[in-house]
Structure 1
Amino acid sequence: MSYKSFQEMLKKVFLAIFIAAAISCSAGARVDLNGEEPGTLQPNAAQSVIVKDLVSLFETVHYKKVPFNDSLSSEIYDVYIKTLDEGKNYFLKSDIQSFEQYRPVLLKDLTEGDLSAMFHIFNVYQTRYLERLNYAVSLVDTEFDFTKDEEYIYNRKDEDWFGSEEEAEDTWRKRVKYDMLTLKIREEEGKEDRQKRIETLTDRYNNLISQAEKTNNDDAFQIIMNAFTGAIDPHTNYFNPSFAQAFNEDMARTFEGIGARLMMDNEVVKISEVLPGGPAFKDKTLQVDDRIIGVAQGDDEFVDIVGWRLDNAVSKIKGPKGTVVRLKIIPAGQELTSQPTIVSLTRDKIVMEESSAKKETKTVTGQDGKTYKVGVIKIPGFYIDFEAYNAKDPNYKSTTRDVKLILDTLKQENVDAILVDLRGNGGGSLMEAIELTGLFIKSGPVVQVRDTRNRIEVDSDDDPSILWDGPMGVMIDRFSASASEIFAGAIQDYGRGLILGTQSYGKGTVQSAIDMARVISPANRLLLKAQSSTATNDAELLADGAPAFGQINITMAKFYRITGSSTQHKGVIPDIKFPMIYPADKFGESSEPAALPWDQINATKYSPVADLGPIIDSLNISHESRMEKSPEYENLLEDIAYLKEREGETSVSLQETKLRAERAENEKRSKARREARQASLGLPEDSEEGSTTDVDFIEEESLKVMADMIGLIS
């Protein structure tokens, strides 16, 4: 994963939290503890039951035995405040001071199913959030002075909370000024369109306000629960029903619906992508940028969805395979006042091929002068469609099944080696990690698992067949985690292949997904079922009439390699090392305060395939020699140094000349790199090829290492 890709990933994660935490609705519980209610959200009865039974579940089955005391209550409080406003952009100091009364009692409240204090804090946050954005909207047409030398502190997490509204407004004035200046600098040279910048920022802020005003108590509850679970363990997560569905679909790489990606555009649902092979693709009646203004199930009446939240609209459009959904469509390019067209589609099962394992064949020349073919298999996650698997569907979707097909194809292409790319692979199904390992070893143990009672289970590959017995390598990075580390660790321990890259994430814990309906006590289920007769939202009900409770992914065991070493914290150390772009103390398990420690158990009995030690020593000599002469390696080191240098920066100049100079310097640096690479490739200076942004230096060098390995083995 490149630094740019990682930044984009962080933006998506932040946006998901941002919209969830800043998104109005229902229910009735205790009134605000202070007698004044800045927001309108309050917990419902089901949420109170869920949290009470969830606390009991933690005390009985969670792997980490944490004392439920005042110290944990304080940690929950800190995590919750940080989750809502880590950048200290919204709360006032007086808000935080008023919240301190809840610090010692939050855990006791949760144990009793009392969410009033947590919801009160959330409501204050939402109020402050809307105040800041509405103030930003009021400033967009200000005539800013971009010659004035002042700074905007964009990273305020080490600053104090706003001492007053005036201090908050001054920071947000600078925020708007910075946003406006950024747009101005992005404009083409000589072009000045202040009105367009005003419209762009107004739309941007109003869109955020619109999303915030759609917040419901499920969103607040999701944030609250993850603050609670995150204070105990970074990998235990509560998912409300819609989040649970999304998680399980991602694990399966399949879903049932019309086969289109949707987005919000000015309060209207818009089609952003039509997925190949789905009903919308086959029907050819829907196009990118078409807008959906109404939805009907079969022959039912249409429901107007303009102004709806995206997740609610999606739940109306998706549905079981074989059912019919009708859509009112305003075609792309037409005004919303145009006469809509009616499209009828039969939903089907959609396979998300773009996030499945893929292959590519690369040609590389070794030090011996010979040319070799290497099959690169990119695996983005360890996925399996459990529903189809349990139903004994012979064509169920899984990582191992996909890689089997890829290996068959690569063998037909007569590749000399296989390179498995697990960079950025956050894990997934343990079963898939074991079965995938089995494609490359004859049989034997793959991983050890210790549960809450200290019982150790050895999970093995029992299939003696091997799909690939030739040279292989596995690429990992700091974001290769969990099941990725099990696979890479087993390949390394057996001496089956090379591990190339940087130290992996270090997530050595096992989570089990539990439907909260199984956790809720019978008495509470009956009580809630009786209350559900007043529910107005069908999406909140299960088929039997009981409220949907969501899902908890809870840590119940710990991984250990067959050598007995835990992957927790330490992860997998590669045989062929590359510089680490992301520091271990800021990214990975080592950066998680509530993470479990590293430990060790006895090794299990296994028979290594080979001792690659002597080969690894020789390969490292050649690898390091190439790295020292490589311009890309030098660029990588420069990038790491540059990031380290800027790591502590928290502010940016609001003086136009300074920002333009900084941009010019960055462009000069990029141009010099591009020209140097073009020269090394023998390309003319004005060629569009040779861009360093498209260079995957880690893969290129890994392929060269694989060529060296093939030569040595031969």
Structure 2
Amino acid sequence: MKFKAPAFLMALALVAPLALAAKADSPALPAAATADQVTTSKLVYGLLSDSRYAYRPRALDEATSKDVFKRYLETLDGGKQYFTQADVARFAPFEANISSAIRGGELEPAFQVFAVYKQRVGERVAYARKLLKQEPDFTTDERFEYDRKKVPWAASSAELDELWRKSVKNDWLRLKLAGKKPDDIRKTLDKRYATLEKSVNELKGEDVFQFFMNSYTSAVDPHTDYFTPRTAENFNQAMSLSLEGIGAQLQRQDDVVVIREIIAGGPAAVDGTLKPGDRIVGVGQGKSGLVEDVIGWRIDDVVAKIRGAKDTQVKLEFIPAAEGADGKHHTLVLTRQKVRLAEQAAKGETMTIPAANGEPARKIGVIKLPTFYQDFEGRRRNAADYASATRDVAKLLAGFKNDKLDGVVLDLRNNGGGSLDEAIELTGLFIEQGPVVQVRESGGRVTVNSDRNQGVAWDGPLAVLINRGSASASEIFAGAIQDYGRGLVIGETSFGKGTVQNIVDLDRWPSGETQRFGQVKLTIAQFFRISGSSTQHKGVVPDLAFPASVDATEFGESTYDNALPWTRIAAVPHTQYGNFAPLLPKLETRHDTRIATDKEFQWWNEDVQQFRTEAAKKYISLNEATRRAERERQDTQRKERQVQRKELGLALDPLADDSSDDGLTGNERDIVKDAAREKAAEKRPDPLLRESASILADAVNLLANDRPLSAQVLPQSTGAGRWAD
């Protein structure tokens, strides 16, 4: 049966979540795949090996089998801290039979490898906990080399013992430097290592199956992924910025699920009973439903019980944070509703760039867009209120226009992508009708995707701020703005992801089935800028560059060993709104002059260089005196900077009093305090954003005051808008 792909295409985010969901009393891990998983394996193979579906299909030959085997071991033990060379040698027969295993769904060896992994985790954890009996000696000059990507597998258990000894020593030292006493350190680390083992023991067969299938999909293409039905649901909710539930962000701590944050506008917020820090210990369905004890459950299983169809009821049994872990149990019934996840939606603010050198003050609007989201199901139903990045940005632009702002900066830093349709439509807010991106399918056919909506939402000065984390749909948008000469692109060279993915629902094949087989996010095409250049590998190069915060050899498309190569195709005709080349030298001169006295920008640059220097070492000292001196240097630097902020009249850093490292992991911290710290971090001074707004203000002023330059940069015949006053 020939599969018909859904109509929508996606320039998707870079990383898909793994589903780790199991109850504490779950049965033993199965030794083989279920019937549904056997069918799924065959379906995934059919997709990835057929050029009708995959942009770059890969035959499941001997070379691919070796690659899948390598990736599966990396998925389980990427740090090479559990398996030995002898273990890997034992797995050799599985490596030789991977092709037949995937084609026929004969996946018993994948479960057998995982069983050995599970055993090795238990052994390593037991050894680590044993080491806690005696405090390490921190007077030696040992160092812990944490980057183990390229090291060989350990030759023996003794070699792993030495690795773990240093790892435990580092964990202990971090807590000691944070002021913890030996008994508290032992207690914290013992619980940490026990939790590690428990998390592996709680994994179910569906998790192991997903690990293995993604080892296969990633061998074909770095952006092709397999989703189990539950993972697919979570992915689709993230893309739509909505879910049906009570409106609370949950986090597991120890054996209990705790409320981290109440989402504004959701049922929990409207009711007002639940507070951050409250512990959920039981869940029931309906007002009179039996409450199940959920202590010890994995968080995904608890979430699955709490979520449900709109207008249905869920009963929660909880312990208020103020009453402690052994407090009285309370009961609350909430009616589920559709909850908008506004935290990831577009947000706007206004920055004032003060008058200087005889030039007027400028008001610059800033729009922060974390992802190119779209509620695909809502759009298919033609719902009036479906979530859309373009719709939200258009509303913000209308407000900026009414306020008569001088320019807009669209902040796409760390925006990993999203809907291709949204990238096209968002571009249309700034240009008249015209091509936005070219899409080449596996057979070579090229389709030009265009903005077909008349008019623009913002015709004034525009800048796009990007960094290495800006990928896919972000690169489509930034590249189009740059090719049209519609605005300035500022920041770092982007990620370099130039491929298009489609969500393929595997349950569409066996018609009429319920959700049993999951979905595949499949690479089906490559996109090209209207200039003909691909962003693949090379990314979008900014017009004005900030110092690189991340080494391109460590992060970006070029770090994938099987990424598509860069190439180009023919350009397509398009309007040229402006040519900023004559303006750039003047902007760079002003930028350099300004940052020479901009303390916050200098501090940021210093921190970046220090981070890159430390990261390049790939090891950390285990000598207490050395580490303490470094910690004191950082603490002193942070305090001195805060003093200088006060003296210079700069905004204070809300995290200036935080210790540089508390030695704890995320689920060991006080959840309420950690959530508050996360919120405070959003309010830290952002010198890069402020400098981007200043650069845009410079451009407005230069073009307003220099008519010959304005005529060079913005030919009036192109309808360039209000760039020049």
Name the structure 1 match of 2:591.
623
Residues 645 and 652 in structure 2, CA contact (< 8 A), matched pair in contact too: no
Q: Note the residue ranges of structure 2 that are not aligned, 5 or more in a row.
A: 1-13, 658-679, 705-725
Residues 136 and 173 in structure 1, CA contact (< 8 A), matched pair in contact too: yes
Question: Structure 1 residue aligned with 2:620, among 652, 657, 672?
Answer: 652
Residue identity matched to 1:660: R
Name the structure 2 match of 1:227.
215
1:153-184, Cα deviation, whole Å (9 max, x unpaired):
33333333222223322322222222112111
C-alpha displacement at 1:152, in angstroms? 2.9
SS at match of 2:58: coil
1-side partners of 2:384 and 2:228: how far apart?
31
* 1:100 and 2:89 correspond: no
Residues 424 and 480 in structure 1, CA contact (< 8 A), matched pair in contact too: yes
SS at match of 1:614: coil
Question: Identity of counterpart residues, as a percentage?
Answer: 40
Name the structure 2 match of 1:612.
580
2-side partners of 1:455 and 1:21: how far apart?
45
Sort the Cα spacing of 1:291 and 1:677 in 2 relative to 1 into closer, same or farther, 3 A. Answer: closer
SS at match of 1:264: strand
C-alpha displacement at 1:336, in angstroms? 5.4
* 1:292 and 2:292 correspond: no
Moved more, 624-633 or 493-502: 624-633
* 1:240 and 2:236 correspond: no
* 1:558 and 2:548 correspond: no
Name the structure 1 match of 2:663.
none
Sort the Cα spacing of 1:104 and 1:505 in 2 relative to 1 into closer, same or farther, 3 A. Answer: same
Residue identity matched to 1:334: E
Sort the Cα spacing of 1:216 and 1:370 in 2 relative to 1 into closer, same or farther, 3 A. Answer: same
Residue identity matched to 2:339: I
C-alpha displacement at 1:555, in angstroms? 0.4
2-side partners of 1:258 and 1:418: how far apart?
36
Name the structure 1 match of 2:550.
582
Name the structure 1 match of 2:11.
none
Moved more, 135-144 or 501-510: 135-144
Name the structure 2 match of 1:35.
none
Sort the Cα spacing of 1:335 and 1:601 in 2 relative to 1 into closer, same or farther, 3 A. Answer: same
Sort the Cα spacing of 1:683 and 1:423 in 2 relative to 1 into closer, same or farther, 3 A. Answer: closer
Q: TM-score, normalised by structure 2?
A: 0.86
Moved more, 315-324 or 660-669: 660-669
Name the structure 2 match of 1:441.
431
Q: TM-score, normalised by structure 1?
A: 0.87
C-alpha displacement at 1:407, in angstroms? 1.1
Residue identity matched to 1:293: V
2-side partners of 1:684 and 1:272: how far apart?
26
Residue identity matched to 2:380: N
Residues 448 and 458 in structure 1, CA contact (< 8 A), matched pair in contact too: yes
Sort the Cα spacing of 1:398 and 1:330 in 2 relative to 1 into closer, same or farther, 3 A. Answer: same
Name the structure 2 match of 1:301.
290
1-side partners of 2:18 and 2:340: how far apart?
27
C-alpha displacement at 1:629, in angstroms? 4.7
Name the structure 2 match of 1:126.
118
Sort the Cα spacing of 1:334 and 1:13 in 2 relative to 1 into closer, same or farther, 3 A. Answer: farther
Sort the Cα spacing of 1:181 and 1:294 in 2 relative to 1 into closer, same or farther, 3 A. Answer: same
* 1:567 and 2:535 correspond: yes
Question: Structure 1 residue aligned with 2:271, among 280, 283, 301?
Answer: 283
* 1:415 and 2:383 correspond: no
Residue identity matched to 1:481: A
C-alpha displacement at 1:382, in angstroms? 0.4
2-side partners of 1:686 and 1:226: how far apart?
41
Name the structure 2 match of 1:324.
313
SS at match of 1:333: helix
1:326-378, Cα deviation, whole Å (9 max, x unpaired):
11122223355554222111100000111100001000035543100000000
Question: Structure 2 residue aligned with 1:596, among 539, 553, 564?
Answer: 564
Sort the Cα spacing of 1:684 and 1:172 in 2 relative to 1 into closer, same or farther, 3 A. Answer: closer
C-alpha displacement at 1:380, in angstroms? 0.4
2-side partners of 1:405 and 1:127: how far apart?
55
Question: Structure 1 residue aligned with 2:460, among 460, 470, 484?
Answer: 470
5 Å-filtered alignment, 1:98-177, equals: 98-177=90-169
Sort the Cα spacing of 1:331 and 1:21 in 2 relative to 1 into closer, same or farther, 3 A. Answer: closer
Aligned-residue CA RMSD (Å): 2.8
5 Å-filtered alignment, 1:671-686, equals: 671-681=639-649
C-alpha displacement at 1:484, in angstroms? 0.6
2-side partners of 1:649 and 1:238: how far apart?
35
SS at match of 1:613: coil
2-side partners of 1:687 and 1:245: how far apart?
36
C-alpha displacement at 1:429, in angstroms? 0.4
Moved more, 402-411 or 100-109: 100-109
Residues 237 and 552 in structure 1, CA contact (< 8 A), matched pair in contact too: yes
Q: Which structure's relative contact order is higher, taking Cα pairs within 8 Å and 6+ residues apart?
A: 2
SS at match of 2:555: coil
C-alpha displacement at 1:589, in angstroms? 0.6
Sort the Cα spacing of 1:20 and 1:318 in 2 relative to 1 into closer, same or farther, 3 A. Answer: closer
Q: Note the residue ranges of structure 1 that are not aligned, 5 or more in a row.
A: 1-11, 28-38, 523-543
Name the structure 1 match of 2:414.
424
2-side partners of 1:143 and 1:389: how far apart?
60
Residue identity matched to 1:515: D
Name the structure 2 match of 1:7.
none
Name the structure 1 match of 2:253.
265
Name the structure 2 match of 1:274.
262
Would you say how many aligned residue pairs link Structure 1 and Structure 2? 664
C-alpha displacement at 1:596, in angstroms? 0.8
Moved more, 671-680 or 643-652: 671-680
C-alpha displacement at 1:26, in angstroms? 6.0
Name the structure 1 match of 2:707.
none
Name the structure 2 match of 1:315.
304
Residues 24 and 217 in structure 1, CA contact (< 8 A), matched pair in contact too: no
5 Å-filtered alignment, 1:198-209, equals: 198-209=186-197
